[in-house]
Structure 1
C-alpha cells in the first residue's frame, strides 16, 4: 500500500487521535482556514524566512508577544532545528554542557555535531556542583507531562552567569491559561524552543525559537540558516500564526469540562488514569493488562495513542474548545468494543547476550519518546539488553538496535 493509500485508509476509518499534532486530525483549532494554494515559495511579498523584513518579520513580532523581552523566530523543521542551532550558537561561549534529566535524541545529535563535551545530571545536582562557564540544557516538560518547578534551577544558573536552554517541545501550550503550568519563558531561560505542532493546532514541523538577548538571537539565526531548509512551507508558517492566535484566544472552561467527563468515562470502563502536571497529558492502564496489550487493542479500534511504556499508555488530550469537532462520542463507542486479546510476540525469544559488554556502534533509541537507552560508544549492560528484549517482544520501534545486532553478528561469524 502506498503512502497516499494508507493516509486515505486512515481517513476512511475515521482514525481517532490521542497523539500529536495538536489539531487532532483537523478537529481542533482553525486550520480549516488554510488552503492548498497557500503552498508558495519565497516570491515577492512573502519574505525570506532566514532574514525576514516583511510579513515574516511581522509574524515573528507577533510570536514575541508571548513573553515580553524575547525575540521569536518561526521555524518549519521542528524543534530539532532550534536545538541544533542553540547548541552551536553557545559552543564557543562555554566550556561544557550539562544535560538535565532525560533528553531527546536531537540534543545528543546537536552535541555530537558541535564536538563539545557534556555531562548528564539530575536537576537536584545543579545545587551542589559548579556550573561556571556552562550551558545547561533542560527538557521541560517531560514527554509524559511532568513539569517540575524551574525557578530555582534557572536562578542557580543565572547567578553563575551561565546559559540555560530549555527544550519545551511539549510545552508550547503552557501558560495558555492560569490552570496550565507556566512556560519556561516566564522563568527567564536564555533560549526556549517550542513545538507549536505538538500540543497546539498547527501543522507538523511548526516550531518557534525564543531568545532573550539580541546577541544570542543573531548567533542562533546564523545556525538556523545552516540547518533549516531554504524552501520553507508557507502552509506551516501560516499554521503557526493560526495556532498562536488560538493560544491568545483560548478559554479553558470547555477543555476542563470535557476532560473531566472523559476521565470519568475511562474510569467507569475500568481504566486507571494517571494525571500529569500538564492537564493535557494522561497515562492509562487497566489492572492485570499489559500497557503494550492495551496500546495494541486501542490501535485495532482506530484509537491511536502517543506512546506506550511500562508505565502505561500516554494520551495527549485535545485542547477542547467551543465549536471543536473532536469525535468524543465515537471514542466512547470504540472503548466499549475493546478486545484485550494478546497478539504480540513472546518475551525472551531473541537472545541478545552477545551484545553484553560491547560498545554500541549506534545509539539505541526507543521511538517515541526518542530518549536513548544507550549512546554510541557506551557498553551494553544486562539492564539495557533486558529492556531492549522486552520492548522488541512488544513490537516497540527501536532505532539503532538492528545496526548493532548486524555489526556484532558479523563480528562473531
Structure 2
C-alpha cells in the first residue's frame, strides 16, 4: 500500500535535499479530520469573501503584491490561468526556452504563436545564465506584435534575471510580463536573497510555496499588482483549477503564512547554515559547489545561494554523484543533469542535514582523481520552427525511431526529466544538434521523455 510505503520511507534515515520545502516535518498522519468541502462558513476559493479572502489578503501583504490567489494545483495552474488571462487566441508571445512545461502547455491550449529566447550557457558550468534585458528588447523590436513575455526567475539552479529592466522593456513595447518564480517563494523573507518579481514590475508571477517554504506539495500563489488583470485571473482560475479545492492544502498555505509573519530568526539561522556550508565546501579538491562563480559571473544578474549545484568536474557525472549520495550516504537530491546534481535547501533544513551533506561530499572527494577533461553540458542552438505547437499537434503523424528522425518535424515534446525543459517542441525540426544533445544526455544517464511513445520512438509529422 502507498500509505505504508510512505510511512516506511519517513521512518528511515534518508535526508531530503529536495522539495517540498517543509523537509517532511510537521506531522505523521493523514489529516482526514480537516479534509472538508466548501460547506457553510468555509468560503469559496473561486469567489472568496470570508476566511479564504482573508488568507489571500495576508498572502498579498507578505509577498508585496496587491492581490494574491491561493493555488492548490501548484504553480502549473497559475501559469495556465495567467497566460490565458493575458493573451488572446493566436497572439504572438516570447518565451524563455528554459521554461517549465506548463508554459508550453499554456501556449498549446491558447493556440499561441511562440518566439523563443535561449539563455547563454555559463562557460565551465553548463547551466543557463540570466537572459539579458537587451536580448528581450531586441526580440520585442523584431516582433512588435508580441503581447506577452514569459521568463523563469529563479531558474531550477537558482539563476535570477533582471526582472525590473525586463519589465520596463516589455511595457515600453506594449507587452506584459509573466514570471515563473516557482523556485523563489523564499525571496521576500531575507535580505540574503534577490528581490521578488511583482515588486520589480512583473504584471503577474507564480510562486510555489511548497518548493522552498514549509507548505505541502501543490501549494502555490499567483500574484499581481494589477486590479483589472486580477479579475480576469480569478475567472481563468475557475476554469483551470479544481472546483473542489483541498482544504488540507489551503490550511497548509495558511500555516505557512503564519510561519512567515515571524520568520526572521528562522531565516537568520538558514543563512548561517548556508554560509557555513559554502565555507566548508571550499576545501573540496575535485568536486565543487557553484556559488562564488555564479554570484560574480558576468552573465548572471543574481543568484540564490540556497540552491546547491554540485559539480563532478569530470570525476563523475551528476547522476553518478546523485546515485552515490543516495546509495552510500542516504541523501536524496532534487535532480541531476549532465555534469552536476542539484541539492535544494530551505529554511526548514537542519544543521545535521548540512553536516551530513558536506561530510559525504568530503568523503567522495577524497576518492576522486583529477580529471583532464570536465564534461560540462554545452549550449545548443534553437531548432527551426515550421509549425506552431497547436498546429503540429493537430496534424496527422507517424512513429519514427529517433535514429532515423533527422530532418523530420516533431509532433511531440522531447525532454530530459528532470528538469523537464523541452529540448524539442512540437512543430520543430529534429536536426543534428538536437540528436547530439539527446545522445549526450542519454550517455550521462538522464531519462528522455516524450508524450505519446516510449523513447527512442517519436511522433513526427508524416
Q: TM-score range by the shorter chain?
A: 0.7 to 0.9
2:298 aligned with 1:283: no
Write the distance in 2 (CA, Å) between the matches of 1:112 and 1:9: 40
> Which of 56, 59, 68 is the matching residue for 2:55?
59
* 1:142-201 deviation line (CA, Å, top 9, x unaligned): 110001222211111122333111111111111211121000021121111111111111
> Which of 415, 425, 429 is the matching residue for 1:379?
429
Change (3 A) 1:329 1:164: closer
Change (3 A) 1:319 1:335: same
Q: Does the CA-based 8 Å contact 1:101-1:139 persist in structure 2?
A: no
Which residue pairs with 1:344 in the alignment? none
2:171 aligned with 1:161: no
Which residue pairs with 2:412 in the alignment? 362
Write the distance in 1 (CA, Å) between the matches of 2:455 and 2:2: 29
Change (3 A) 1:404 1:257: closer
Task: Map 1:295-314 onto structure 2 (within 5 A).
Answer: 295-300=322-327, 301-314=329-342
Write the distance in 2 (CA, Å) between the matches of 1:396 and 1:101: 19
Change (3 A) 1:6 1:393: farther
* 1:116-167 deviation line (CA, Å, top 9, x unaligned): 2121125432223434552111111111000122221111112233311111
Which residue pairs with 1:99 in the alignment? 95
> Which of 67, 71, 86 is the matching residue for 2:67?
71
* 1:296-326 deviation line (CA, Å, top 9, x unaligned): 11121321111111241111112258xx686
Which residue pairs with 1:274 in the alignment? 290
Change (3 A) 1:404 1:315: closer
CA RMSD of aligned residues (A): 2.8
2:131 aligned with 1:118: no
SS across alignment from 2:422: coil
Q: Does the CA-based 8 Å contact 2:65-2:198 persist in structure 1?
A: no
SS across alignment from 1:289: coil
Write the distance in 1 (CA, Å) between the matches of 2:410 and 2:78: 27
Write the distance in 2 (CA, Å) between the matches of 1:139 and 1:249: 28
Deviation for aligned residue 1:66: 2.6
Bigger shift: residues 115-124 or 373-382: 115-124
Task: Map 1:162-241 onto structure 2 (within 5 A).
Answer: 162-241=175-254
Write the distance in 2 (CA, Å) between the matches of 1:160 and 1:407: 39
Change (3 A) 1:212 1:80: same
Q: Does the CA-based 8 Å contact 2:416-2:448 persist in structure 1?
A: yes
> How many residues get paired?
395
Deviation for aligned residue 1:4: 3.1
SS across alignment from 1:358: coil
Write the distance in 1 (CA, Å) between the matches of 2:89 and 2:430: 34
Q: Does the CA-based 8 Å contact 1:16-1:331 persist in structure 2?
A: no
| TM-score scaled by length of structure 2 | 0.78
Deviation for aligned residue 1:75: 0.8
Which residue pairs with 2:440 in the alignment? 390
Write the distance in 1 (CA, Å) between the matches of 2:195 and 2:111: 33
Unaligned 5+ runs, structure 1: 342-350
SS across alignment from 1:373: strand
Which residue pairs with 1:318 in the alignment? 346
Which residue pairs with 2:6 in the alignment? 7
Write the distance in 2 (CA, Å) between the matches of 1:172 and 1:247: 11
Q: Does the CA-based 8 Å contact 1:135-1:164 persist in structure 2?
A: yes
Which residue pairs with 1:250 in the alignment? 263
Q: Does the CA-based 8 Å contact 1:140-1:147 persist in structure 2?
A: yes
| TM-score scaled by length of structure 1 | 0.87
Deviation for aligned residue 1:386: 2.5
* 1:381-402 deviation line (CA, Å, top 9, x unaligned): 2222232233334442322074
Change (3 A) 1:31 1:66: farther
Which residue pairs with 1:293 in the alignment? 320
Deviation for aligned residue 1:206: 0.2
Write the distance in 2 (CA, Å) between the matches of 1:214 and 1:318: 32
Change (3 A) 1:92 1:353: closer
Q: Does the CA-based 8 Å contact 2:337-2:446 persist in structure 1?
A: no
Q: Does the CA-based 8 Å contact 1:365-1:374 persist in structure 2?
A: yes
Deviation for aligned residue 1:44: 1.4
Write the distance in 2 (CA, Å) between the matches of 1:377 and 1:25: 41
Task: Map 1:347-358 onto structure 2 (within 5 A).
Answer: 352-358=402-408
Write the distance in 2 (CA, Å) between the matches of 1:317 and 1:4: 26
Change (3 A) 1:192 1:127: same
